Structure 1
Amino acid sequence: MTVNITIQRATINDAPEVAVMVGELLNEIMSTIGIHAFKFSLDETMARLKDFIYREKYFVFVAQSENQSLVGFIALYESYALYAEGAFGTIPELFVRPGYRSQNVGQRLMEQAKKFGNSRGWKRLEVTTTPLPQFDKTIAFYEREGFAITGGRKLKVAL
C-alpha cells in the first residue's frame, strides 16, 4: 500500500515535530540494542535543530502525509575530505514512523537527499549504521538505495 506523501525541505517551524521524531528514533535504537546510548532532551534537540537549520549547517527534508502530519525525515550535513574528492553529504539521521514503513517513504526521502546532494556538487553520500543483526533491515534498505559497505566502524571520543 502506498500512501500520498509529499517531501519538502524542513523549516524552523518543523523543528518541534522533527525533534520529537529524533527522540522516537533514539528510543527505538536504544530499545533494540538494550543500551542507553544517547542522552535526549526534547527542548535542547529542538533548539539545536532550529539553530542548525537557520545557519544551514543541517539540511532536513520531511515526509508529510495527506493529513499534514509529519511521518518521517532525513537529515544531511556537508562534509569535506580528500579521500572523498571534495565535498560530500553525511546522513546522521533517517527515520520513518513505524506505521509508514514499507510504503516507500524512506525511498522517497533518500531520492530527495540524492537530488539535493547533486545540486550542491557532492561526490557521494555516506551513512553509518551498526552491523548488528538487529539492523539487517536497515542495511538492506541502504544497499537497495545503492550504498555499499566499505568496512570500518564508527568510533567516538567525548571532548
Structure 2
Amino acid sequence: MQLIQLKPEQSKDEITDYITKLFTELSGPDRVPDEAAFAHMFEQWSGDLRHWVYKLMEGDEVVGFFTLAESFSFFADGRYGIINEVWVEPKFRSQGAGRTILGHIKEFARMKGWKRLDVTAPAEEKWLRTYAFYQQNGFKLTGKKLKFLL
C-alpha cells in the first residue's frame, strides 16, 4: 500500500470528497459542509504547517484517508498529535486497512518527536466497534471529551 500526502493547494476537491464521505457516514448528508464552509476551512488551513492529510492507496484504489494535527500541552509533555479524521473505504474494512493507517500515523508521530497521540471516537452506540478498534490498537481512555460551540 502507498501513502500519499494531500496538500490543500492541489487536492481540495479530493479532500472535500473524502470529508463528505466521512460526514455522510457519521451524521448523514444534512451535516456535510456546504461549498462556502469548505472554502472557509481550506482558507484557514492554508499555510498552516501543523495539519496534514494523507490517503492510503492499493494500486489505483483509495483504501482510506486520515487527517492529523499537532498541538501542545504541558500536561502532554510538549507537542503531541491529534488524529482528527480517519475514514476507510467500506470494502477494505475488517481487512487490516485501519491498522495499516494507524501504523503510518504512529510512524509519522515518531518522526515528529511526539510522545502522544489523541483520538476521539464517535460517541453513538453504533460506533462502539470504532472505539474498540482504537483500544485494540493501544489507545487508552483518558477521560471524557467536551466541546463548547461558539
Provide TM-score, normalisation by structure 2.
Answer: 0.85
Provide TM-score, normalisation by structure 1.
Answer: 0.81
Task: Give the 5 Å matches for 1:53-64.
Answer: 54-64=47-57
Aligned residue for 2:59? Answer: 66
Tell me the C-alpha RMSD between the 2 structures: 2.4
Change beyond 3 A, Cα 1:110–1:50: farther
Change beyond 3 A, Cα 1:55–1:151: closer
Change beyond 3 A, Cα 1:65–1:8: same
Tell me how far 1:14 sits from its aligned partner: 3.2
Tell me how far 1:46 sits from its aligned partner: 6.1
User: Where does structure 2 lack aligned partners over 5 or more consecutive residues?
Assistant: none
User: Where does structure 1 lack aligned partners over 5 or more consecutive residues?
Assistant: none
Tell me how far 1:11 sits from its aligned partner: 2.9
Task: Give the 5 Å matches for 1:17-96.
Answer: 17-31=14-28, 38=31, 40-42=33-35, 44-45=37-38, 48-49=41-42, 52=45, 54-67=47-60, 69-96=61-88
Structure scoring higher RCO (CA < 8 A, sep ≥ 6) equals: 1
1: CA distance, partners of 2:43 / 2:97: 24
Q: Does 1:111 align with 2:103?
A: yes
1: CA distance, partners of 2:50 / 2:68: 9
Q: How many residues align?
A: 149
- Other structure's SS at 1:149 match: coil
Q: Does 1:9 align with 2:2?
A: no
